[in-house]
Amino acid sequence: MLLSKLIHYYALHDLHKNRSEENQYYIDSPRIPINIDRETFFEVPASLSDIGLNITPTDKGYSIGEFGFESLIPSGDDLNDYV
């Protein structure tokens, strides 16, 4: 028990005492828009309004199902164009 506390203390205090010289979470502020129109940014595309649902109840009291919709990025392949 004492040995594990000693190792824990050493790992926390001695191994983590050196700091980076540069902040690694730098944000390039000129590229960040200041005023964002929330209605436009969070707008749901019209193609997602046509979601197909197939819900099946089970005998255990819950339901299982599948849903699908057309992909927002068409690839030209019918299997990939439907999610």
Can you give the residue ranges of every domain in the chain?
2-68
Instruction: Note every long-range contact of 42-51, with CB atoms under 8 Å and residues 24 or more positions apart, other chains counting.
Output: 45/72, 47/72, 48/72
Which range (4-8, 23-27, 72-76) has the least confidence?
Answer: 23-27
What pLDDT score does 35 carry?
77
Contact in structure between 74 and 55 (CB atoms under 8 Å): no
Q: Answer yes or no: is pLDDT of 47 > 80.
A: no
Q: What is the mean pLDDT of residues 68-82?
A: 83
* Residue 77: predicted pLDDT: 87
With a threshold of 0.75, does the pTM exceed it?
no
pLDDT average, residue stretch 6-22? 73
